[in-house]
């Protein structure tokens, strides 16, 4: 009997030992899993931060996110154009050479060969219309000034639909002017290149190509530069818009492709 009792005690002792070892191993395994999950979570967070940093660097290198700087540079080159007189035509233009050459829409200078040109800094000049093409709605003006801030001309031939663009110009609003505002500062509107269109000025003329811009142009923006938001390169000259029949808001806007304007001035 004593032998049986001793044997039972020994077996129970071994069982407790093995159970203790098994519990220890299980606890250690769970602890290892927890540690691994923790390390994995930390690594995932690190990878996310690395990805955010890489994306930020890529956007910086591509020039994205610097639109205020681009816009400021463009605005310095935008001019206000008027023909003088009581019913003066008013619009905008932009400098294309530091020697005083300015591009605008032909209808902005209709009725005069010596338009008045005002710059953002307040300086004013009497310009001379060097070239004008009414069919394409492009005009080149020259003022006697040096060291003007000129804009870079891009290309409209390979311009993709959906490209983000902006338009700069001096707005004309009779209600605002009644309150004393006289468009002394250019304003910006932005949108995308929505389509390429063509129309015939007359039934017997050749088609004229234009860019359709999804932007809310204001009266007075005509002649202003249509430029790529990320680079500031000019790809068109704002020249017309169509207002909704009942809304009175601009629904469709058009611009002269800069490649067409380049052929006129060259």
Catalytic residues: 107, 137, 222
Cβ within 8 Å of residue 160, ≥6 positions away: 193
Structure tokens at 176: 């605002």
Sheet hosting strand 90-97, strand order edge to edge: 124-126, 116-119, 78-82, 90-97, 101-104, 138-142, 128-133
| Pairwise CA distance, residues 200 & 39, whole Å | 68
Structure tokens at 155: 């290309």
109 DSSP 8-state letter: G
Three-class DSSP category at 199:
strand
């Amino acid at each position: 009997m004593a032998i049986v009792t001793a044997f039972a005690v020994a077996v129970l002792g071994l069982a407790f030992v093995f159970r203790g070892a098994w519990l220890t191993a299980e606890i250690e395994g769970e602890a290892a899993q927890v540690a691994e999950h923790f390390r994995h979570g930390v690594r995932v967070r690190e990878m996310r931060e690395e990805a955010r940093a890489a994306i930020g660097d890529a956007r910086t290198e591509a020039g994205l996110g610097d639109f205020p700087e681009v816009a400021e540079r463009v605005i310095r080159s935008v001019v206000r154009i008027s023909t003088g007189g009581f019913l003066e035509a008013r619009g905008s233009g932009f400098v294309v050479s530091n020697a005083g050459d300015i591009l605008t829409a032909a209808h902005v200078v209709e009725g005069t060969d010596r338009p008045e040109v005002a710059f953002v800094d307040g300086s004013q000049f009497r310009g001379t219309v060097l070239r004008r093409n009414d069919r394409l709605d492009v005009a080149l003006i020259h003022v006697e000034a040096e060291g003007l801030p000129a804009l870079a001309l891009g290309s409209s031939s390979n311009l993709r639909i959906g490209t983000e663009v902006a338009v700069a110009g001096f707005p004309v609003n009779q209600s605002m002017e009644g309150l004393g505002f006289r468009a002394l500062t250019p304003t910006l509107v932005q949108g995308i290149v929505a389509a390429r269109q063509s129309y015939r000025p007359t039934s017997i003329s050749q088609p004229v190509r234009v860019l359709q811009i999804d932007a809310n142009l204001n009266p007075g923006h005509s002649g202003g530069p249509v430029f790529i938001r990320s680079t500031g390169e000019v790809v068109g000259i704002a020249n017309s818009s169509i207002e909704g029949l009942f809304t009175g808001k601009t629904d469709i806007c058009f611009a002269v492709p800069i490649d067409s304007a380049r052929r006129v001035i060259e």
